[in-house]
Structure 1
Amino acid sequence: MRAGGRQEKVEVGTIVTMDRVTADENGNVELPAVLLVDGKTITSDAEKLAKVKVTAEVLGDLRGPKIVIQKFKNKTGYKKRQGHRQELTRVKVTGIK
């Protein structure tokens, strides 16, 4: 499935942490499939994959670890410190249709 700018390999029941997504009123989200493997059959055709949807239940929103960004230039007195925490969502895959 495609989750933000990444791809995740999932099955029904898999819990995935991905970039923040908004859920519908029931707490579910639909994600597009990138590749479908069903037993010995592998589907990678874009037309057939457009019909496949991965449904997932949102378990909760969280934030990633803090990343510290520091910039420094020697002999000029330039120092800059900045922090970042990524907004994430934890989802559980409930179905692949």
Structure 2
Amino acid sequence: MVFAVVRAGGRQEKVEVGTIVTLDRIKASENGTVELAPVLLVDGDKITSDAEALAKVTVTAEVLGDLRGPKIVIQKFKNKTGYRKRQGHRQELTRVKVTGIK
């Protein structure tokens, strides 16, 4: 069983070949490929975390499409002053499918 932990958008994700992952928006064309930076590689009983050895490892993924996350409502309120502020946010996301770990 081969899997890797990759750095993507300020977070780390555990991926295997065929895994579909939702990441922060990546500038890539739809049906294009991107390369993700590995942090850890597990190949059966062998665990690789050395930076020099990981420089030789490539994790490639195919871009499935862009989407937007759920709407988050931010509300601020201060008592007795009449201060109310309402703001919304939707995160820009990209869905990718891991195609290879070499």
TM-score higher than 0.5: yes
Q: What's 1:62 paired with?
A: 67
* Structure 2 CA distance for partners of 1:26 and 1:66, relative to 1, 3 Å: closer
Q: SS at 2:100's partner residue?
A: strand
Tell me the amino acid that sits aligned with residue 96 of structure 1.
Answer: I
Q: What's 1:32 paired with?
A: 37
Q: List aligned pairs for 1:7-86, cutoff 5 A.
A: 7-23=12-28, 27-86=32-91
Q: SS at 2:15's partner residue?
A: coil
TM-score by length of 2: 0.90
Cα root mean square deviation, aligned: 1.3
Distance in 2 separating the partners of 1:26 and 1:64: 20
Does the aligned pair in 1 maintain the 2:31–2:65 contact within 8 Å?
Answer: no
Q: SS at 1:13's partner residue?
A: coil
Would you identify which runs of 4 or more consecutive aligned residues in structure 1 move more than 2 Å? none
Question: Gaps spanning 5+ residues in structure 1: where?
Answer: none
Q: What's 1:4 paired with?
A: 9
Question: Gaps spanning 5+ residues in structure 2: where?
Answer: 1-5
Identity level (%): 87
Does the aligned pair in 1 maintain the 2:67–2:94 contact within 8 Å?
Answer: yes
Distance in 2 separating the partners of 1:84 and 1:19: 14
Distance in 2 separating the partners of 1:36 and 1:28: 20
More strand by share: 2
TM-score by length of 1: 0.95
Distance in 2 separating the partners of 1:84 and 1:94: 31
| 1:37 positional shift | 0.3
* Structure 2 CA distance for partners of 1:39 and 1:48, relative to 1, 3 Å: same
